[in-house]
Structure 1
């Protein structure tokens, strides 16, 4: 897929950065339907080309952010070798540099969040509460809440199942599914619907 075909998914003014980062690499971009498990991923292919998949449902700035994350894998492996950790120091410094270079692409209210994030990039988007909150503002104008906003012993539904919050463990929440009595760990920014 050529960079220009990505334009409908991207925010304004980001193509010069992508053209520089793509350079002469053979990169196959696949746009997928929304996946709950991940926003994007990177793979080096057997023929030495590169494949990046991205969710089609991402807002333009988040699409660009995730694409930058995945391209940082490619550039880190290319610059430092294949033996580096996927989300290790080399990837973090590469991703951080790319975010810093392209900061002008992001909206003014998002820039401080990106600048804070790039000081110590996280492997998982969900590990950055500020980013999660920012990108979910428009998506959740319904009755859903973050689990961190609920109290111990509150009941909630998640994916059509009912749970009760048992306790907080460090940052996460231990919950019991009422139907099966099984225990599950929820991240603080899991979107749930509180039962009143």
Structure 2
């Protein structure tokens, strides 16, 4: 099947042709991956005869899929320029991300709130897109609503919630950016991101 047609299933249609050209230009193996809780996408540099490899989770909404894809291509471009001599989300990567996002801004691919969120975090040298909660929340607003799923920050204090693997926790107080939660069966303490997706166990 034509690469652009496949990408149109996951990306905003106006974005698919350019991403298709990037895959060819950078000679990149581009994989649409299973869902991963720990990350939306991944970039692997050339190694042992393998070329550039990018993977992006299949279940992201089109805007999140595009932001993640450009994020990973910016890593690829930065590696081509500097190899391992710069920080993964350092200024070199930020400049490439911003430049590679520009064609999609010009095509008005994103709604205004996402454009604003991307611009805001790129103007903040201390933020990376992996940890920028404002950008994450803005992108999540375009997800298909799943009634059984919520985020830790939306839960009341002291209620129980469950992870996909079945483990049950009680929500505790917020410590700086994360929530201190107790696993019910082991009494061990874990720190949860405010935007971690969980299932609320209601009485």
TM-score (norm 1): 0.83
- Give the corresponding residue for 1:59: 61
Confirm whether residue 184 of structure 1 aligns to residue 190 of structure 2. Answer: yes
Pairs within 5 Å for 1:67-146? 67-103=69-105, 104-120=108-124, 122-124=128-130, 126-146=131-151
- Per-residue deviation, residues 100-149 of structure 1 (Å, max 9, x unmatched): 3422221344322222233235141x532343353255433414332122
Equivalent position SS for 2:9: helix
1:100 & 1:151 partners in 2: Cα distance? 40
Equivalent position SS for 1:67: helix
Task: Check conservation: 2:173, 2:179, Cα contact below 8 A.
Answer: yes
Equivalent position SS for 1:102: helix
Consecutive unaligned residues of structure 2, counting only runs of 5 or more, are none
May I ask how many residue pairs the two structures share in their alignment? 195
- Give the corresponding residue for 1:164: 170
Q: Please, what is the CA RMSD of the aligned residues?
A: 2.6
Given the superposition, is the C-alpha separation of residues 143 and 137 from structure 1 closer, same or farther in structure 2, using an over 3 Å criterion? farther
Consecutive unaligned residues of structure 1, counting only runs of 5 or more, are none
TM-score (norm 2): 0.81
1:110 & 1:167 partners in 2: Cα distance? 30
